[in-house]
Amino acid sequence: DTEVTQTPKHLVMGMTNKKSLKCEQHMGHRAMYWYKQKAKKPPELMFVYSYEKLSINESVPSRFSPECPNSSLLNLHLHALQPEDSALYLCASSQAGAGNQPQHFGDGTRLSIL
Amino acid sequence: AQKITQTQPGMFVQEKEAVTLDCTYDTSDPSYGLFWYKQPSSGEMIFLIYQGSYDQQNATEGRYSLNFQKARKSTNLVISASQLGDSAMYFCAMREGRGAQKLVFGQGTRLTINP
């Protein structure tokens, strides 16, 4: 079992729906990440939160809206997504400011847009 | 230009043999970190091993070790005594700069262990 928990594991939604992906960690990490991974491709960074503040936004479309309500939780709010947004969404966490520490990943949410 | 290059899209190895997965990187920053992750078909990314740019010795972690050649900018992963459970996608990744948070991944190598 991973120490980063993502819910739901699978999500199917229409293009007009609003849904949220959730991520939780209890390792005391103060950096949290969202990645998008298309099939047979490497993960691509979307957002980074450091000490609950957004520190990196990799020019992600505004239909993806991240939120970090506290040091243990990270959400990704989804609205008006496109079929090309279908992918595996991975959450990760790490110690902030410690470049030699690995990022710990959750199992991911497999998202399908109809 | 690609920051991380993994030239082997797929590899097939007999069980119990050793296997080497290649990774080269490109950076002008003297401070960087190199990571290897394993991703089974279920999707989770599992951290395997880390090598820092200032580390004098090759990293080892159980059956995993790195052949870090700084001048050649390569960090190859060696898996000794391969097992069926080692079948997965393997990603090499780099973090540039001290304390930097962005992790850039290579394209990955799909490793298949044959019984």
Is the distance from CB of B73 to CB of B53 less than 8 angstroms?
no
Q: What is the pLDDT of residue B19?
A: 97
Task: Phi first, then psi: give them for residue B86, nearest 5 degrees.
Answer: -80, -10
pLDDT of A6 over the 70 cut? yes
Is the distance from CB of A92 to CB of A4 less than 8 angstroms?
yes
Q: Burial of A78 by CB count in 10 Å (0-12 exposed, 13-18 middle, 19+ buried)?
A: buried
Q: Burial of A81 by CB count in 10 Å (0-12 exposed, 13-18 middle, 19+ buried)?
A: buried
CA atoms within 13 A on the CB side of A13: 23
Residue the block writes with tokens 């880390």? B50
Question: Best mutation site among A100, A109, A112 for testing chain B: the one with the most B CBs within 10 Å?
Answer: A100
Q: pLDDT for B50-76, tens place per residue?
A: 999 999 999 999 999 999 999 999 999
Run of H or E residues at B12: strand B10-14
Within 10 angstroms of residue A14's Cβ, the number of other Cβ atoms is: 10
Of B33, B97, B105, the CB nearest to A43: B105
Q: What is the pLDDT of residue B96?
A: 82
| Mean pLDDT value of segment A58-79 | 96
| Mean pLDDT of successive 10-residue stretches along chain B, which has 115 residues | 89 97 94 95 94 94 96 97 97 83 93 96
Q: What is the pLDDT of residue B17?
A: 97
Within 10 angstroms of residue B22's Cβ, the number of other Cβ atoms is: 17
Is beta strand A73-79 parallel, antiparallel or unpaired with respect to B4-5? unpaired
Q: What is the pLDDT of residue B64?
A: 98
Is the distance from CB of B23 to CB of B77 less than 8 angstroms?
yes
The band of A101, judged by pLDDT with boundaries at 50, 70 and 90, is confident
pLDDT of A31 over the 90 cut? yes
Is beta strand A10-13 parallel, antiparallel or unpaired with respect to A109-113? parallel
Q: Burial of B85 by CB count in 10 Å (0-12 exposed, 13-18 middle, 19+ buried)?
A: exposed
Closest CA in chain A for residue B105: A42
Taking an 8 Å cut-off on Cβ atoms, the answer to whether A104 and B47 are in contact is yes
Contacts of A69 (CB under 8 A, 6+ apart): A75
pLDDT of A55 over the 70 cut? yes
**For A60-63, which contacts have Cβ atoms below 8 Å and span 24 or more sequence positions?**
none
Residue count of chain A: 114
The band of A99, judged by pLDDT with boundaries at 50, 70 and 90, is confident
Q: Can you tell me the distance from the alpha carbon of B110 to that of B90, in angstroms, rounded to the nearest whole number?
A: 6
Closest CA in chain B for residue A90: B44
| Mean pLDDT value of segment A54-64 | 93
